[in-house]
Amino acid sequence: MSLIQDYLKQLIEALQALSEEAILELVNILKKAHIEGRQVFLLGNGGSAANSTHIAEDLQKGVKEHTGRRFKVMSLADSNPLITAWANDTSYERIFVEQIESLVEPGDVVIAISGSGNSANVLRAVEKANEMGAVTIGLTGFDGGKLAQIAQKSIVVASNNMQRIEDVHLIIGHVLYTCLINPDL
């Protein structure tokens, strides 16, 4: 089997291992947030930051285009000046928690994306969001790490390969979006 075929085969296996029930739980959380006018915040580092931005864009712009109703969604990974200011003046572990403290209200949704599930800044943010009464969701891989334990809802991608985990996280985002714009679901 070629390297390419092997990569794609393992990606398909990781996708097939996803729980439809777990994804539908996330859809329902997001539908409720949308109906109630709650905010949704996404966050992550590196490829997970890129995925948080991509998913936020799909949810904010795409859902409004298809439903006619605005969806308050943003990625906390998007402001380099703000992130570097917090990192410089406090610590990198606080780049998301400081934003959470400023923006999150009870009932808002925080989606934390971490391939390993052990990124300290992501964990601090989820802990704070839990304390503040937000609904927390973790998207992770490997064994789920600490994130799968502290997020109220989690999806752990069945893979030990960061690239495949990130691929699946983005696909989960696209599935969430597709479900949210489908009035029959």
Domain boundaries, the chain: 3-180
* Segment 51-74 mean pLDDT: 96
Predicted confidence at residue 179, as pLDDT, reads 96
pTM of the complete model: 0.97
Residue pair 135/161 in contact by the 8 Å Cβ criterion: no
What confidence category does residue 101 fall into, taking pLDDT thresholds of 50, 70 and 90? very high
Residue pair 114/142 in contact by the 8 Å Cβ criterion: no
* Segment 84-103 mean pLDDT: 97
Q: Which residues are bridge partners to 120 per DSSP?
A: none
Predicted confidence at residue 130, as pLDDT, reads 98
> What CATH architecture is 3-180?
3-Layer(aba) Sandwich (3.40)
DSSP, collapsed to helix, strand or coil, labels residue 95 as coil
Predicted confidence at residue 185, as pLDDT, reads 72
Q: Average pLDDT of the chain?
A: 97
What single DSSP character describes residue 184? T
For residue 170, give the amino acid letter: L
| pLDDT exceeds cutoff 90 at 131 | yes
- Strands of the sheet with 109-113, listed across from one edge: 72-75, 39-43, 109-113, 135-140, 153-156
Helix ranges (DSSP H) in the chain: 3-16, 20-36, 47-57, 63-67, 80-89, 97-103, 120-131, 145-150, 162-180
Residues in the chain: 185
What single DSSP character describes residue 59? I
| pLDDT exceeds cutoff 80 at 183 | no
Structure tokens given for 98: 């400081």
| pLDDT exceeds cutoff 80 at 54 | yes
| Rounded distance between C-alpha atoms, residue 39 and residue 20, angstroms | 24
Count other Cβ atoms within 10 Å, centred on residue 1.
8
| Phi and psi torsions of 175, nearest 5° | -65, -45
Predicted confidence at residue 184, as pLDDT, reads 78
